[in-house]
Structure 1
Amino acid sequence: MWEFLLKYPAGMFARGEITLSASGWPYLAMVLAAAVAIPTVLYYRRATTGMRAVDRSILSLTRTTTIALLVLALFQPVLTVSNIVSQRNVVAVLLDDSISMRIADQDGAPRAEFMGRAFHPQSGELTKALSRRHEPRFFKFAGDTTALTLREDMTFAGPRTDLGQALDNLREQIDVQSLAALVVVSDGALTRAAPLNETLSAYRAADVPITTVAVGQSNFARDMEVSAVSMPRRVLKDSAIVADVVVTQRGFDNQSIKLLIEDDGRLIAVEEVSLSADQPATTIRARFTAKEAGIRRLRFHVVPAEDEVLVENNARETLLEVDTQRQRILYFEGEPRFELKFLRRAVAKDQNLRVVSLVRTAESKYYRLGIDNPQELAEGFPKSAEELFGYRGLILGSVEAGYFSPEQLTLIADFVSRRGGGLLVLGGRRALTQGGYGNTPVAELLPVVLNTRRVDPILSAVNVRPTAAGFGHPIGQLGAGGADALSWKTLPPLTVLHPLYQSKPGASTLLEGLTPDLAQPVTVLAEQRYGRGRAMVLNVQNAWTWQMHQDMPLDDQTHETLWRQLLRALVRSVPDAVTIRAGSEHPSPNEPVEISAEVLDASFHPRNDASVRLVVHTPIGDRLELPMTWDASRDGVYRLQLTPEQAGIYEMTVEARSGEKQVTGKMHLPVGILTPDHYRAEMREGILRRIAVETDGHFYRAGDVGALADEIPLSQSGVSVQERLPLWDMPVIFLLLVTLLGFEWLYRRWRGLV
């Protein structure tokens, strides 16, 4: 309709410029028109017979508007537009070839069906329209960007869509300066963390407008997705594990769902929750025990519901390394106590924990238990980093700060921050505030605030209760069936000496003590990350009561479980001298991955002079040995780029040699166990709109692309000609003239003025 009235499509007016082409005589016509219009207005203003003021105004306006339209037509207005020269402009068409194109959210049809119908290189509707005016060149992308000639080349099997990388790759394959335009057909997935700023700046600099075509729904009607799994990567065998599983959903309300946790296909836990429409994300806390050693492939799976748009995102897999290496923990007591005896008894049968004990029995005299050789700890508490850093955990009992030299106090802080070890400070009459630690380096790393001066002990028996954070921690799982199976109210009270009420920012209070004698709960157990390590405080002096109290059954395992879980948490994630990291947690086959290794010496200082190599065992049994290069910008860091070809689990070992000493580190990299395009699979309109707007292109949805071939904006490098299209004979001008003259006659007749 509008095109009929305006003679040309509305889009041409948006990109064109309206000017007047006539010169000379039209100005004379304008003078004559004014000579006619002015007397007409004066006549109507002075006419009094049968005319009201409103009649004079309406007739004057009608007559002058009619004359103005005639004068406008005499000036011969034209629309100046830049039109392309047929078959002379290259338009690149970038098609999404990822697996997300198989999602059936296009009125029940897969997204790929629209791609084939509209952009088939030979028979697509838009391909034909583009070919009439342009020279289209087709490319497909998922992980890589490649030229496309036949429809059969589209597999829609790429596990990952990286739109930003695809735009960068296209610039390497074609001279973008020669492009008249670029059309991107995609759902807008952007799997890399790098921003689009530099990519879009390059296309703006080349003056290449990008037109984006959005495929898919921006909001699924009904869908559930396991969006994230937060849990330790490495634990000791038989450790209790708490995994936070985030399930996002749309379209479900007051519906119960089941989360299944499987270990290599074996069901190990089931959790059930109810979804609410006003809560798009629900965190499910799953609890289980790592009973099998080795690399475990865990699958977190939500049972699909009816009418879900996509069920492939209902599951997420992750690797768990269950370690059987015995963890050496140094326990230093300043005086003989029951706590030492019962702690050692509690973990005696644990094959993964080895507590080496050092007890001060008199000045410069010590009692040692669990040592490897006669020289170990012979001089008392370690004085060198090499000796102390050989342990993965450190427990300080009832020992005053004055026992340690300033260098040893700093060494304890370095054990946590630099070595990455775990420190546990127990309550006792010579510990914490009573031990004078308030102004020492140890106080800085503890999760609680210590008084800088000694205060009176509270000596109170408290009932221990987990906090909300404690229920989400392995320490809360003292019962065989998890935290909920244990009635904390039945446990005997424990004694605290130190008035610890304030935790530091970032610290977690896991257990607190309640008693009518105290105005507020006292901190019983708290932890925090500090540097590379972890610091914990257990503010009781008689945890052994849970073993020996008369109300505790003889076969009760609460005390044993407490210490096993606590010490396992203490040494969890303690790094080795060589740590390995991958740039991508879940890479796809043939996707380059940056592997970095941090190499430290026995004192955990960076080594820049080591000879480092990466030994890779592939899923099919091949062994690769690859040299790693030192990164001059970071001390102790070595890098290389690895491109895994097969799906499966890659075992990687870094061997670093300096002189006669060699240190190693190991990690496992899962490749191809996760399909990124199945997650957050809804069409991302914001990204596609941004690409179009920032490059002066257009944005279309799949159902509105009919005019794309005619409206596609071109760069200045496009071959075009200037056309001047006449506007004086537009149907709208003729219709307005007829309407105005007809209205004037009818109005006069109605008012009896003719």
Structure 2
Amino acid sequence: MIHWEPFYPAAVYVAIIAAVIGLLVIASRVATSRRARSPLVLALRGAALGCLILLLLNPVDRRETVLPPRQPSVAILVDCSQSMVLGQYEPRIERVKRIVAGSARAAKSSGTPKLHLFRFGKRLAKAAETGALTASDDTTDLASALERLPSRTFGEDLRAVVVFSDGAIDTMDRTLSAATAYRRNGLPLHCFTPVDDQLRGDLAIEQLVVPSRVTPGSKAIVRASIHNRGFDNERVLVSVRSASRPHELALAKLPLTLSEGTNLCELPIPVDDAAGDLVLEIPTLTGEAIGSNNQVPFRLPIRDRRIKVFYMEGTAGTEYTFLRDALQEDPNTSCVSAVVNNQYAQRPTIQRVDDPYRGFPSTRKELFQYDVVICSDIPRSSFTPEQIEWTVDLVNRRGGGFVMVGGHTSFGSGGWDQTPWDGLIPFDMAGRRDYLNQTFQVEVPAAARSHPIMTLLDDPQKNTLALQSMPRFFGTNVIARVKPAATLLGQSGSRLSGIGVMPVLACESFGRGRTFAMATDTTAYWGRDFERRWGEGDNRYYRKFWRNVVGWLSENSYASQQRLIIHTDRVLYAPGDPIEVSVEAFDENAEPTTAYRVTAQLRSVDPSRTETGSETAPESATELEINQSLQRYEGSLDAALSGQERDPSAVMQPVELHVTLWRQDEAVSRGVVELQLVEQAEEWLRPNARPDKLRQICEASGGKMIDDEGQLRRLLSTFQPTRGEVLVHTLPQWDRSFLWALFVGLLGTEWVVRRRGN
């Protein structure tokens, strides 16, 4: 379509037209020839001048193109600071994720608006989906997020910003300034707060100090610091309980009336060898933000060099007492005895003699407190697959010992060749699932008589006689052979029916630990004389034999190596706090020494982590200094983990302090102390939501508070696409050929007419 876009104002064109008309009139009057004054010539001249005026009016061809409607967009900003994991019944972040996901589905089904999801805390970042929203940042910097958002949404038809936060916002002044700027640009900020009206505050155990050393039978004073926010004048009961037996009576209790801020308390705890892991706890109150910081596990540092044995006996009655009493005759050995309930049932259970409600250790950590495990005629169905694997790890990685004693449910007849224990046992059990009820003597080979297990007496001749006096046995499991790497300690003195001479006693090294196997039984029926009559009118050689077995098996055990006593100034640390460490080291004769090198390293708790066997200290380990006057090592290291090991979403994270004793580049002994990292950032110390701050932000930007998901969906539905942008294309017409042809034609015609008239 032709439009006119004149170069000059209309008055100029009027003046030009008037001037042209005046010139034509003057020309007609002053012309000397009759033809020059003719109306035709004047008309042709006027037409030519009219073409020039037409070109000066700048004719253009104008066309319009309407683009498609523009999709509106809304930015969703989700607070991913640590305080968003709080909540009475549901973490705040989970509630926000649920609402955002529902609103996103509704917007997608309706086709409008387009949602842009961002997370903010320390910094603003695009989130592909709600699953990427984790509350891990230690600050809530909404101001920086609002300042950076325009560059992240450039080119979008941004209509509004919706902020999901609990209101624990830093730099409020900057945030309000940014909100005001958004208002000037016509972009409102709407806010949603996951408010929990039941949330009143929080209690947290922030410090725990345990004595550096305690002795059994005494009382240990444990000091704790409890931080209170929001529960002023409430009365709570602070208690210490056994971690493995939480339903038993508390070892110590202290009623405490809370005051705002820090509350100090002391609890006297009776020291017991069997106490094990303990836990200091305060009850979780109604309206409390975080429950996980109300409990702190710890352990009293009882110095104990005794070898710890877990002994399981399948023979019914009191048969277990023979072996147990033999071990406990040595004051440096403690033995936990257990029997099997209904040995031949489909799923028999193991019960400890002193505590029938407990059986085989239920955790890897509990099992690793023992040096030696003795399994005497126990069905494999009494164990879980995990317990079997833990036992392998106890020997292979922790240097512990393992014993299997014969019986109807032992070795191949018990199906143990189909379990990981097959690797532990020094006998080859493959294909042998039977046993014999046949009387035989055990013969100790000459080469084995000097082995530590078979050394009953110091005098070699007397020792040989003692070994030769070993009573007869009345049955045995059938064993194929001794494994190539094992040591044969005893074999049948005569040929057994259908078998020949068969190995009966053997031992071997396995990984860092050691194992021992006895094909026959140590109790009635097969070993009834062995347990009662091997001695000089008593069973002294029997008792010495089993003490030798346990002593040899436990020589490399981490649990029995009390070469290190480790003490820290407390149990709880905030990230970055200094951990003051002191270590007492002992030589092979249990004498205090400073002749070694000692390193300490803080690591996260990882059950799957295994010792690498490295003979050099890691670069991140801290070397402790020697204090000669106190005969110990001292040092300090930061309570800090690497980024991969740190769990920023945890209020309280268990960690391990690994201490290693080095002789040049050889690791002589290792020790581990469990500590706790307690997050004390402001994000955790401000548990209550602050909707008042978000309301100020909404008012400053011209937005409003959103109360629920339905209100958010209604808000999003108001954003409709805008009419597409109109693109105008103009094409000048002054250079059209027909206009210039007309102009030239008029001039030529005027010339011809005028010449012919002359």
Short-chain TM bin: 0.3 to 0.5
TM-score (norm 1): 0.36
Structure with higher Rg: it is: 2
